[in-house]
Amino acid sequence: STVTTIEQLSIELWRDIFDYLMSCEIIAGFSGLNSRLNRLINSIPLFIDLSSNIFLTTYKNVCQSSLCHTGSILSLNLAEKHKVGAIDLFLSLTDIKQFINLQKLVIVKADHDNLSAIVFKLRHLKHLCTLKIDDDLFRNIEKDVIKKILTVKSLRRLDLSTISKKGYAYLKKSSIEQLTLKECDRNLIYYLPQSIKSLTVIKELSLLLTKPPYSPTTFSYPNLTHLKLTVHHFINHNDDINYLIISISHYAEYVSIQLLFTGNLLYYSGDFWAEYLSSLPFTCKIEIMVDTPVSDTNETHLNYIKQTFQVSNQFWIQHNLSVEFHYNKHTSRIYTLPYPKTKNEDYDLVRTLEIRTNENYSDRHFRKLKVLIFSLFGSCLPSMSGEWLSLLNKTVASSLPRLKKFVLENSFNDKIEIEIFLTEVLNRAPNLEALMIRHRDIFEKLMDVVSQMSHPRRIVRLELWTNLTLERAGELVRTLPKLQLLACEIDENDLQRVLPVVFEQMKHLVLLKIIVSHVSYDYSIIGTLLDDKRWTIDERNDSILVWM
């Protein structure tokens, strides 16, 4: 009788198996096993994401094995997050210009040298149509790097922090169709390429720092159909933004303007916006939001504002636009629907929130948080935990069951009050994946509470301002066996005893962050203990980072 091995499975079954795996898992687990599987891997599209938590050996394996499949890799994501020198390691093991069919490249937090090394090879990627560089470093990048990016002929979608004026000339000559920026100054809108179809400025389109190079009436962007701008300063009739809107009025499909932090009552008038946007066709989807931290509680004035957006103004009827008004002691806001329809739904958009106990959060409730940072300020008195829990219940109670990360920031020495509060929070947050506690004397109570949670194994990230002794390391292994990231203090005298437990028994640990609590920390022993690990001293954050 014949024996059938897994390698003899039909191509169809192998494809079904690969459908359940990430591309990195396919390469790490099956590349190089035999020529048949290599041919199969080369026949499927691969989307390599090296930004996730990944062991150092697996990372190296994927990088080296990917050279056998460069023609199949269509997307590549590189990042330094939770790693040490990852992009530099990638460049030492591969040559990005060999990824001849790469269509999308994402680079997150690369240092200057590595970013330059990648960008200067982009011209070899003839199919690259999407590039995203997520890093504030880009605002200070050299002219040559910007030029290399904007002269990639195949590039159509570009997502950057900003483009400074030294890159404007290259932008105007580029073939970019979709441009997304976090911020820029208004001069940029004079240098958009003729190919532009979509422009998004997420955080701020700032005031002109220099005199506009051309008259606004010279705008001509026949392909621009989608425009989304966030403006932190005034806009006026006949200004550059208004002329831009007029210039695309024949083909505009979507126009969104968020005007933030303005106290000018002019922008709270439906008549102003009706005239400002009057050139847009009825088929264009329009979104407007005017937001200010100043509240106007005058009922007469509020009624007047509402009337300017009512049926007496034909613009709002013809465009079938509904406008909502939101006023409370914190903000004044006017927005077209479907922006948040109610105050509660507005707060439902918030995913990360920091609550400070010395601030007033009345009349605000957040129901869909993923990350909660609770900062304790003021005096720590008996029963203070009751007041903190009351604040928690008023603001985020319904978010706790779905909370993914909880951060407790505090400067108190009253361990009892902290323990009471923390116990209540953790018991009501069963789906936590990340926990950061900035209190030195709470380790034992924390382990006790976590061990009683319904799903403690879900916690994969733990950051503590606590010294990790040999006994505590063993308790961590037992209580949180799935940890992938651990940050804590380790006394230099305990390194030789504690690190072997961490390295050998924490089977899922990807990154260890050793917090350095004093300037006289002895680093000399680190090199001998970490000779097979990739590590660095992070002087900016007073820590040692170890990539496992």
Contact 331, 295 (CB under 8 A): yes
Which band of pLDDT confidence, cut at 50, 70 and 90, is reported for residue 290?
confident
User: In a 3-state reduction of DSSP, which class is residue 406?
Assistant: strand
What is the residue-wise DSSP string for 107-124?
A: EES--HHHHHHHHTTGGG
The answer, yes or no, to whether residue 341 has pLDDT greater than 50, is no
Cα 338-340-346 angle, rounded to 5 deg: 165
The answer, yes or no, to whether residue 1 has pLDDT greater than 60, is no
Stretch among 38-42, 255-259, 340-344, 367-371 having the lowest mean pLDDT: 340-344
How much is the average pLDDT of 12-26? 93
pTM above 0.85, yes or no: yes
* E strand or H helix at 76: strand 73-79
| CA dihedral sign of residues 34, 40, 45, 49 | negative
pLDDT at 150: 94
Q: Tell me what the pLDDT averaged over the chain comes to.
A: 85
- Which parts of 22-163 fold into alpha helices (H)? 23-30, 35-41, 56-66, 86-93, 112-119, 143-150
Cα distance between residue 525 and residue 497, in whole Å: 12
User: In a 3-state reduction of DSSP, which class is residue 314?
Assistant: helix
The answer, yes or no, to whether residue 393 has pLDDT greater than 90, is no
Q: Which structure tokens are listed for 200?
A: 């998004």
Q: Cα–Cα distances in Å, from 315 out to 200, 228, 251?
A: 25, 20, 18
Cα distance between residue 512 and residue 83, in whole Å: 10
pLDDT at 192: 94
Burial 92-113 (b: 16+ CB within 10 A, else e): ebbebeebeebbbbbbbbbeee
Which band of pLDDT confidence, cut at 50, 70 and 90, is reported for residue 383?
low
**Residues with Cβ within 8 Å of residue 127, at least 6 apart in sequence:** 100, 101, 102, 103, 154
Residue predicted with more confidence, 250 or 469: 469
pLDDT at 377: 64
Cα 26-31-32 angle, rounded to 5 deg: 165
Which band of pLDDT confidence, cut at 50, 70 and 90, is reported for residue 91?
very high
Contact 25, 33 (CB under 8 A): no
Q: Percentage of residues in the chain with pLDDT exceeding 70?
A: 88
Residue predicted with more confidence, 43 or 302: 43
Which band of pLDDT confidence, cut at 50, 70 and 90, is reported for residue 217?
low
Q: What is the pLDDT of residues 475-496, one digit of tens each?
A: 999 999 999 999 999 988 898 8
Which band of pLDDT confidence, cut at 50, 70 and 90, is reported for residue 342?
very low
Q: Which amino acid is at 515?
A: I
The answer, yes or no, to whether residue 118 has pLDDT greater than 50, is yes
Which band of pLDDT confidence, cut at 50, 70 and 90, is reported for residue 411?
low
Q: Cα–Cα distances in Å, from 525 out to 471, 491, 495, 531?
A: 21, 12, 8, 11
The answer, yes or no, to whether residue 321 has pLDDT greater than 90, is no
CATH of domain 400-547: 3.80.10
The residues of the chain that CATH labels 3.80.10 are: 400-547
The answer, yes or no, to whether residue 506 has pLDDT greater than 90, is yes
pLDDT at 431: 92
* E strand or H helix at 443: helix 443-451
Q: What is the pLDDT of residues 149-184, one digit of tens each?
A: 999 999 999 999 889 888 999 999 999 999 999 988
Stretch among 114-123, 188-197, 380-389, 405-414 having the lowest mean pLDDT: 380-389
Cα distance between residue 68 and residue 31, in whole Å: 8
Strand partners, 485: 461, 511
